[in-house]
Structure 1
């Protein structure tokens, strides 16, 4: 289930993903270790919902009602009808299809509610988990920015994938 973040999500966030270096490292976000830090992050998320073009959702596991991750259009270009997706889910909840399902949901939302023309996702070359999600969502490889990230003394490439609205509609019809 996807919904807006709430302050009550702070414990789950801290327990399941924002404090986990293995999760935060995969999308180059800071590690949060205290409730005060998570509250500031939630202040940012929640206050941004007043903006018309702010799209960030908590990923909630239906059975447990736990906040297990997040997904967002973190980069939006309204002039060119374009957005980029970022996502993460706690290690305990990975490889269960949550991110794939969430990504498919916001692709649909982006094309049908926001009227985007193109949506992209990118990942560091070592993030094979993200690559498999992107493939399941039928995005097309566009290219690589070589040596884009400098992490732990080494350079990593950034791989770009995208899907156009017409491709998304065609895929949905043929499904």
Structure 2
């Protein structure tokens, strides 16, 4: 087990990606990602209307890390430095060994294994460093790519549970 403290952001790397903390230099790519119609087709969330709202979102991500509630990584291509997606652990509860994972990737970079690399690294970090035993993911019932990713990493559908906020979401669980 590695020691972890919320005083230093945990930067991670895969063969092709750097998983790093968002900065205000990421406002434009975060705006493009979070306002992308194709991505938002199967995600229910507030869509930023302008760069100020994207900046406010980044500010929230930074504060949630400081408050020890969330770790929100930007997925940056090592080859170009381009931000192509995000992955996060939120609702972190270290006392109960629990978190929820969420993710998105620019459609131009889907089906290339980037999210699989990121998920593998985040799960490894979650288990080996944070000692999490239960990780949940909420995904739209028609998001076949997301469901395939979750199943690849042994997340199991929880058919008896429902997302109270979003009827079309399904809940998947990793761990005991």
Which ranges of structure 1 fall in alignment gaps of 5 or more residues?
166-175
- Superimposed CA distance per residue, residues 21-44 of structure 1 (whole angstroms, 9 cap, x where no aligned partner): 221343322222311111111111
Would the alpha carbon gap of residues 47 and 21 (structure 1) be closer, same or farther in structure 2, given more than 3 Å must change?
same
1:143 shift after superposition: 2.1
Counterpart contact for 1:144–1:160, Cα < 8 Å = no
| Deviating more after overlay: 61-70 vs 83-92 | 61-70
Give the Cα–Cα distance (whole angstroms) in 2 for the partners of residues 118 and 8 of structure 1: 33
Counterpart contact for 1:27–1:88, Cα < 8 Å = no
Which ranges of structure 2 fall in alignment gaps of 5 or more residues?
1-17
Bigger-Rg structure (1/2): 1
- The equivalent residue for 2:45 is 29
Relative to the length of structure 1, the TM-score reads 0.80
1:10 shift after superposition: 1.1
SS in 2 for 1:52: coil
Would the alpha carbon gap of residues 98 and 124 (structure 1) be closer, same or farther in structure 2, given more than 3 Å must change?
same
| Deviating more after overlay: 118-127 vs 84-93 | 118-127
Give the Cα–Cα distance (whole angstroms) in 2 for the partners of residues 91 and 148 of structure 1: 28
- The equivalent residue for 1:170 is none
1:52 shift after superposition: 3.3
SS in 2 for 1:43: helix
Counterpart contact for 2:162–2:171, Cα < 8 Å = no
SS in 1 for 2:123: helix
- The equivalent residue for 2:91 is 75
- The equivalent residue for 2:171 is 160
Would the alpha carbon gap of residues 14 and 48 (structure 1) be closer, same or farther in structure 2, given more than 3 Å must change?
same
Would the alpha carbon gap of residues 49 and 80 (structure 1) be closer, same or farther in structure 2, given more than 3 Å must change?
closer
Higher strand share: 1
Please state if 1:124 is matched with 2:140: yes
Aligned length: 159
> Which of 57, 64, 86 lines up with 2:73 in the alignment?
57
Relative to the length of structure 2, the TM-score reads 0.80
Please state if 1:10 is matched with 2:10: no
- The equivalent residue for 1:107 is 123
Higher helix share: 1
Give the Cα–Cα distance (whole angstroms) in 1 for the partners of residues 155 and 163 of structure 2: 22
